[in-house]
């Protein structure tokens, strides 16, 4: 069985991760795992050069998940002044353009979901996932990503070694409008709308909207805002700081509202996976009754939500694994 060595990457608004994926058949093994702050490098090409120099590996191709919209083989990162270009990447690696896969970072994250083991996830809400049902993957980090997986009908399910085939539908779901449901949320929405003009779920729940949201929330609650630090929010909340505690609960409710809307609109009977650094930090808040209620309550269609389980992806390697499987999908099918 031929083994391919693939450069895989997760190029986000905060960090850039690279690794080498060795793919034999449908099995993937990651090595040479590398993570650096994006701000350490002026351009994406500088970060790539640093990894290739340190690893000394010459890959056969590449599959990258990048935090931005892909257009004509190029991505301009939304939260960093970087451009990733398929042709430039193929030239640097000495690969054919057909050996390069470039997708939105949440498409790569989503593709990892059905490949994860029990040790890679935590159950936020128990349920009964249906075999072959659609899967939603969403959540905030620097931005807010959302994608849906659909299982394709297998041509020969009885064939030895046959595995499910998946296709991923990505988009910019994190930029859907924030939907306030409490008095505090409505007042927060009004302040943010005055300041920003448009208030998205990304604004309220992600790292990129932290300063605007925490400032508006402090004003709404009549609390003093002192040197806000996104890295200490969960710690301060655990100590009982009222502003940090309300911010964590607001973000958790927002995440679960987005997850519930996406699950309902895509009939995600296969389950929901929450991802992103902010989601991981909010693990204890996501399972609080007020957050769970935001996921389940869909009026006359609430019964459709009851069986859907919700998981939290804990593995930092998930998007790299997903990128590798997308490369294999493309080689096997010729399309994503």
Provide the token pair at 117. Answer: 């083991």
Structure pTM? 0.93
215-248 residue pLDDT tens: 999 999 999 998 889 999 999 999 999 999 999 9
Contacts of 4 (CB under 8 A, 6+ apart): 22, 23, 24, 60, 61, 327, 331
Average pLDDT, the chain: 94
Give the range of the structural domain holding residue 49, as residue numbers without chain letter.
Answer: 3-109+317-333
Give the bridge partners for 167, in sequence order: 150
Residue 27: its pLDDT value, please?
84
More confident residue, 65 or 78: 65
Contact (Cβ atoms closer than 8 angstroms) between residue 141 and residue 202? no
Q: Are residues 325 and 183 in the same domain?
A: no
- If one counts the domains in the chain, the total is 2
- Identify whether residues 58 and 189 lie together within a single domain: no
DSSP for 275-289, please give it: -SHHHHHTHHHHTSH
Claim to verify: residue 122 and residue 218 sit in the same structural domain: yes
Residue among 180, 313, 189, 326 nearest 254 (CA): 180
Give the contacts of 72 (CB within 8 A, at least 6 positions apart): none
> Is a pLDDT exceeding 60 seen at residue 25?
yes
CATH of the domain at 99: 3.30.420.40
The CATH number of residue 238's host domain is 3.40.367.20
Residue 84 has phi, psi (to 5 degrees) of -115, 125
168 with 91, same domain?
no
Residues 128 and 48 in one domain: no
**168 and 266, same domain (yes or no):** yes
Closest-CA residue to 148 (of 162, 140, 136, 163):
136
| Spatial distance between the Cα atoms of 228 and 73, rounded to a whole number of angstroms | 38
Q: Label residue 26 by pLDDT band (50, 70, 90).
A: confident
Contact 237, 204 (CB under 8 A): no
- Co-location of 17 and 39 in the same domain: yes
Do 73 and 167 reside in the same domain of the chain?
no
Domain check: are 83 and 207 in the same one? no
Answer yes or no: do 166 and 105 share one domain: no
Residues 170, 252 share a domain: yes
Half-sphere exposure of 83 (CA within 13 A, CB side): 8
- Residues 305 and 159 both lie in one domain: yes
pLDDT in tens, 28-45: 999 999 999 999 999 999
């Amino acid at each position: 069985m031929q083994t391919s060595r693939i450069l895989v990457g997760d190029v986000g608004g905060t960090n850039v991760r690279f690794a080498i994926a060795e793919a034999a058949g449908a099995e993937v093994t990651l090595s040479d795992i590398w993570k650096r702050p994006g701000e350490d490098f002026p351009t994406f090409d500088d970060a790539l050069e640093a990894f290739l120099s340190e690893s000394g590996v010459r890959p056969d191709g590449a599959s990258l998940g990048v935090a931005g919209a892909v257009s004509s083989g190029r991505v301009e990162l939304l939260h960093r002044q970087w451009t990733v270009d398929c042709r430039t990447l193929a030239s640097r690696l000495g690969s054919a353009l057909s050996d390069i896969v470039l997708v939105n970072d949440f498409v790569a994250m989503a593709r990892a979901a059905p490949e994860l083991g029990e040790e890679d996830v935590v159950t936020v809400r128990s349920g009964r996932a249906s075999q072959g049902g659609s899967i939603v993957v969403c959540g905030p980090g620097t931005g807010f990503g959302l994608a849906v997986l659909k299982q394709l009908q297998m041509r020969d399910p009885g064939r030895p070694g046959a595995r499910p085939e998946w296709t991923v539908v990505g988009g910019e779901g994190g930029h859907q409008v924030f939907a306030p449901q409490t008095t505090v949320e409505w007042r927060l929405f009004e302040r943010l709308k005055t300041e920003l003009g448009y208030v998205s779920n990304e604004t309220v729940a992600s790292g990129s909207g932290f300063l605007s949201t925490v400032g508006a929330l402090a004003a709404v609650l009549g609390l003093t805002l002192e040197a806000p630090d996104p890295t200490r929010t969960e710690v301060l909340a655990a100590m009982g700081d009222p502003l940090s505690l309300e911010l964590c609960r607001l973000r958790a409710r927002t995440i679960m509202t987005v997850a519930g809307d996406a699950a309902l609109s895509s009939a995600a009977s296969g389950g929901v996976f929450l991802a992103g650094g902010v989601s991981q930090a909010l693990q204890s808040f996501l399972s609080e009754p007020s957050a769970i209620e935001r996921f389940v309550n869909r009026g006359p269609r609430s019964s459709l939500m009851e069986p859907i389980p919700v998981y939290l992806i804990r593995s930092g390697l998930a998007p790299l694994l997903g990128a590798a499987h997308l490369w294999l999908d493309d080689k096997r099918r010729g399309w994503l």
